[in-house]
Amino acid sequence: MAENLTTTTQVDPAVAIFYDRVLLKRGKPKLIHTIFGQKKNLGSKKGNTMKFRRYSALTVATTPLSEGVTPPGQQLSKTDLLAQVSQYGDYVHVTDVVDMTVEDPVLTVANEELGDQMGRTIDVIVRDILAATASTDDCDLGTNGDTPTELTKNDIDTKAVQVLLGNNAEMHTSLVRASSGQGTSPIRPAFWGLSEIDLIDDLEAVSGFKSTAQYPAQSGVLDAEWGATGNVRWLVTTEGYVSAGTSTLSADEYFNFILGKNAYGIIDLDAGNVKSIVKAFGSGGTSDPLNQRATAGWKAFFVARILNDNFMLNLKCTHS
């Protein structure tokens, strides 16, 4: 056998790395906080503030009428709520050198990433507004020794479901009747619960928890839905609201938003106000005399508003 064997030690590849042009997928969170708000559009050229109005219930008339005597009657009472839209947006700046030397379609990638950023931005804005509700309570029936404790069936039922029902909040879903499917069981009418993905094990440990696989029908199951506990159907996300704990164990506090109908509203400035904006190389005129810069961006008018604190509850807990 010849001894003077030429290998890659003597002659290595000029280009030693192959670049796969199919970009890797990255993880994207489930955006759940905008799903259950009233969707409203504020018409163009009609100002930047929407007014919501709610009338108070009249007291019951239990006093018998006296013959020939007109009762005093009652006055109507209303509550007005204002919501002022704000403008949000961002962009990516790309040079011509990047455009000419990088293998990826950079502006196309930028547009996709900006679209994802816009969705996450709106979701976080709504989440933080829900976190400001005046309707809150702490779990205290768990066993982890922290304050608040972990989620339990009694906490969910007594501090959230019973309170919302006592406030005449309407449930979002109706009864899902049992079917002939193996391992399935009926699902009660329910409020929606929005939680953090860290709490999945605690949710599954709640007495009577039913996973979506046990639902008798899958047609109404939402993308981020994990399961049901009694009269609450739960959605989970990595974008849940988590507050640094101040308890003796310094545990993080998780905010679980349990929602009835019409608890909050989402308003944009007229339908289609979301804009995707691409400025090509040279579009800047004399500010870009050598066609060196391009941008891709988005902007949107938006606001969310709690419409009735009595129709939602923030049930705080820690992890088990």
Same domain membership, residue 215 and residue 143:
yes
Asked if residue 24 belongs to a domain, the reply is: no
Predicted pLDDT of residue 209: 96
Same domain membership, residue 242 and residue 142:
yes
Asked if residue 63 belongs to a domain, the reply is: no
Asked if residue 124 belongs to a domain, the reply is: yes
Same domain membership, residue 145 and residue 91:
no
Predicted pLDDT of residue 17: 67
> How many domains does the structure of the chain reveal?
2
Same domain membership, residue 288 and residue 208:
no
Burial class (CB in 10 A: 0-12, 13-18, 19+), 215: buried
Q: Domain span at residue 174?
A: 138-263+308-317
Three-state DSSP class for residue 52: strand
Look at the chain and count its residues.
320
Strands 38-41 and 264-268, bridge-based pairing:
parallel
Same domain membership, residue 116 and residue 154:
no
Q: What share of residues in the chain are helix, strand, coil (percent, to 5)?
A: 20, 30, 50
Predicted pLDDT of residue 179: 67
Same domain membership, residue 312 and residue 183:
yes
Predicted pLDDT of residue 107: 87
Same domain membership, residue 271 and residue 243:
no
Same domain membership, residue 216 and residue 120:
no
Same domain membership, residue 192 and residue 50:
no
State both tokens at 208: 């009577």
Neighbours of 159 (CB within 10 A): 21
Q: Is residue 269 within 8 Å of residue 49, measured between CB atoms?
A: no
Same domain membership, residue 293 and residue 283:
yes
Asked if residue 21 belongs to a domain, the reply is: no
Same domain membership, residue 195 and residue 84:
no
Asked if residue 241 belongs to a domain, the reply is: yes
Predicted pLDDT of residue 18: 64
Same domain membership, residue 220 and residue 83:
no
What residues of the chain score a pLDDT lower than 50? Answer: none
Asked if residue 170 belongs to a domain, the reply is: yes
Predicted pLDDT of residue 105: 86
Predicted pLDDT of residue 183: 59
Asked if residue 255 belongs to a domain, the reply is: yes
